[in-house]
Amino acid sequence: SFVSLRQRILSAVQKNATRGDPRSVIRAIDQFCSQKEWAMNVGNEKGCILDSVVSEVNPATVLELGTYCGYSTVRIASLLPPYAKFITLEFNPDFAAVARQVIAWAGLEDKVKIKPCLVEGASSDWIPKIKEQFGIKTFDLVFLDHWKEHYLSDTKLMEECGLLRKGSVLLADNVICPGAPDYVEYVRSSPRYKSHYFRSHLEYTKAEENLWYLGIIE
Ligand SMILES: O=C(NCCNC(=O)c1cc(-c2ccc(F)cc2)cc(O)c1O)c1cc(O)ncn1
Ligand SMILES: [Mg+2]
């Protein structure tokens, strides 16, 4: 019967990565997606930029919007300090099902140290509930990688829900391809944000892409 791309990615992880070794899970996905089939993981080039931002911010609270197969979830979770709280939201239940298994294979599900809490459902439904559900006041880091047309509305929603503070960092994937022009326009013209971008390429291709970094200054 037909095996979906997400299932083939999971099989590649289970076949080629070592249980409990997050780096081998990342390597297995990158090898599959560069040698066999393209998939919309953030990839290794942008992934190294993500790693450097996570290491610099050293966040106690992280929100990821758009889990997909859990590739960036594993990258982020493997760099977090033991006390960190990490929530990743995925709308698509099929993606979430694969991500749970990829995160478990990396050993991050079991580790007391970090338990990325994978929440299924629309970000706009979940964002207003996060404070009470997870006992989180504000996020030190938000990684936006979900529907590109929801970047702006979800950022405004996070502001309204008081989930962002002075010093919070937002990192957005795909501001060029597929693109989030309204989001870029809003944050660039807002006095609340100091923004700049990291030049990179669309995962597993040579197409120009940027990761858009936002520091909240007010
Ligand atoms: O979050 C959901 N989809 C993934 C968002 N991510 C993307 O769409 C995405 C796309 C691309 C991309 C780039 C070039 C190209 F030719 C095709 C796709 C790259 C990326 O790096 C992404 O991150 C989703 C799905 C659904 O059915 N319901 C609710 N949410
Ligand atoms: Mg992306």
pLDDT digits (tens, 9 = 90+) for 40-81: 999 999 999 999 999 999 999 999 999 999 999 999 999 998
Average of per-residue pLDDT across 125-130: 96
Ligand 1: residues whose CB is within 6 Å?
40, 66, 68, 91-92, 145-147, 173-174, 177-178, 202-203
DSSP-derived secondary structure for 169-191 = EEEES-IIIII-HHHHHHHHH-T
pLDDT per residue as tens digits for the range 92-117: 999 999 999 999 999 998 653 567 78
Distance, CA of 122 to CA of 154 (rounded, Å): 10
Please state whether beta strands 61-65 and 141-144 pair in parallel, antiparallel, or not at all (unpaired). parallel
- Cα distances (angstroms) measured from residue 144 to each of 17, 21, 213: 26, 25, 10
Nearest ligand, CA 90: 1
Find out whether 211 and 49 touch, Cβ atoms under 8 Å: yes
Q: Is the ipTM of this complex over 0.90?
A: yes
Find out whether 86 and 62 touch, Cβ atoms under 8 Å: yes
Q: Is the pLDDT of residue 166 over 70?
A: yes
Active site residue 173: yes
| Closest CA relative to residue 62, chosen from 17, 118, 104 | 118
Distance, CA of 19 to CA of 85 (rounded, Å): 23
- Residue among 41, 174, 209, 210 flagged as catalytic: 174
Distance, CA of 200 to CA of 63 (rounded, Å): 22
Structure-token match 């990743």, residue found: 88
Rg over CA atoms, the chain = 16
